[in-house]
Structure 1
Amino acid sequence: MADVVSICNLALSYLGDAANVVSIDAPEKSTQAELCRRLYPMAVRALLDMHDWSFATKRKAVPELVDEGGFGWRKVFQLPSDSLRVISVKEYRYQSVLRHPFAHVFPDHDPTQAEFEVKDGKIYSNVENAVVQYVSSNTDVSRFTPDFVVALAYFLAHQLVGARVKGKEGQTLAQALFKQFQVSLSIAKTKDASQEQKRIHFVPSWIKAR
């Protein structure tokens, strides 16, 4: 299981640097630790924003802001405080399938994605009750997949290279690291996407007609 320090040391190793950071917080005062302290959080946020990572995705019913004007939208909802990027806004409705003593009432597992707009910490949409799917910025490092860790380390190394390696050597290394990052990011995205299997919700036409 990776942690912040191990990811930073992996990034430093990609630079050919001594990977011996013990902590990126005080009291360690090394240049490496200070650079990682400043650049690691930005690297994580940037990478989380590049894909709908399954381990960073959350679903949450959000409260309506009744005193807010919709500006053309029917409803205004509070954006989750840890939302880095909204993926979708949906409304889950319950419907009766058959008018029969043994009929069940079940949730629609594949609701239509609603139109929405995110602005100033608010979600504008036309749904009655919003369920938001979003990428969370508050994702514990222990949840990172191994492939995400590798991609993150290459990305962080690319951010660090300018401060650690100068001149043409630094430029060449930066280009090589970015290529490695692109490859590792593609692998991480592909494997992460395979974690999702959408449930097909089928209602026969003869039931819909009732």
Structure 2
Amino acid sequence: MADAVSICNLALSYLGDAANMVSIDEPEKSAQAELCSRLYPMTVSALLDMHDWSFATKRQAVPELTEEEGFGWRRVYQTPSDAIRIISVKDYNRQRLGSSEFRYVGDSFPDYDLPHADFEVKDKKLYTDVDNAVVEYISSNTDVSRFTPDFVDALAYLLAHKVVGARVKGKEGQTLAQMLLKQFYVSLSTAKTKDASQQKKRIHFVPSWIQAR
């Protein structure tokens, strides 16, 4: 099973590095550890943002910000604190149980796919016309143990591409950077294709006269 250190060592190995780090945090003081400690988190976030990864997708009801100006939208909601990117917004009917507690009809989300609503995200706020918004989003709090092997491979190549300038100088470094970037896109394509095959969208037809109710 991959972890942050093994992924960083894999990236370094693509540069011809010894790749023998045991930690990317203190107390290790190596130049490799310093680079990986700084670049690894942002590289993970960048790669997570490149696709609707099934293993990083979460679904959550979001709280309404009733005091916020909608600027043309009917509702304003707070986006989840761990959201890298909102994928979709849907409207689920809710029933109030108490002063602040809600449940969804059937105590769970429907097993069919509801129509996507229009939305806009600005400054961590979600603007939409949906009355009871539930969002699907890419989460930054995705444990490395959930990364697929193909995602790990793409991540290592992207990290190597970011690190190469500090480890390999001159024309050799430039040539290696181009090769790593090319290989990253190959790995990314493979990872996205395999990840997409893990998802099967259910089609739920809602007649227009019902949608208008």
Q: Tell me the TM-score normalised to structure 2 length.
A: 0.88
Q: What is the CA distance between 1:201 and its match in structure 2?
A: 2.7
Q: What is the CA distance between 1:108 and its match in structure 2?
A: 7.4
Cα pair distance change 1:4/1:108, threshold 3 Å: closer
Q: What is the CA distance between 1:138 and its match in structure 2?
A: 1.1
Cα pair distance change 1:191/1:28, threshold 3 Å: same
Q: What is the CA distance between 1:68 and its match in structure 2?
A: 1.1
The gaps in structure 2 that reach 5 residues or longer are 95-104
Q: Please say if 1:179 is aligned against 2:182.
A: yes
8 Å CA contact retained: 1:57, 1:135: yes
Output one character per residue of 1:91-121: Cα deviation in whole Å (capped at 9) or x when no partner. Answer: 1249xxxxxxxxxx98472211111010111
Q: What is the aligned partner in structure 2 of residue 199 from structure 1? A: 202
Identity of aligned residues (%): 77
Query: Which has the larger Rg?
Result: 1
8 Å CA contact retained: 2:78, 2:126: yes
Distance 1:111 1:3 in 2: 36
After TM superposition, the runs of 4+ consecutive aligned structure 1 residues lying more than 6 A away are none
Output one character per residue of 1:54-77: Cα deviation in whole Å (capped at 9) or x when no partner. Answer: 000000010111111111110011
How many residues end up aligned between the 2 structures?
197
Paired residue type of 1:39: L
Q: What is the aligned partner in structure 2 of residue 88 from structure 1? A: 88
Distance 1:192 1:108 in 2: 21
Q: What is the aligned partner in structure 1 of residue 29 from structure 2? A: 29
8 Å CA contact retained: 1:93, 1:108: no
Cα pair distance change 1:156/1:203, threshold 3 Å: closer
Q: Please say if 1:71 is aligned against 2:71.
A: yes
Cα pair distance change 1:109/1:162, threshold 3 Å: same
Q: What is the aligned partner in structure 2 of residue 166 from structure 1? A: 169
Q: What is the aligned partner in structure 2 of residue 100 from structure 1? A: none
Map 1:20-169; keep pairs closer than 5 Å.
20-93=20-93, 107=110, 109-169=112-172
Output one character per residue of 1:34-88: Cα deviation in whole Å (capped at 9) or x when no partner. Answer: 1100110111011001000000000001011111111111001111000000011
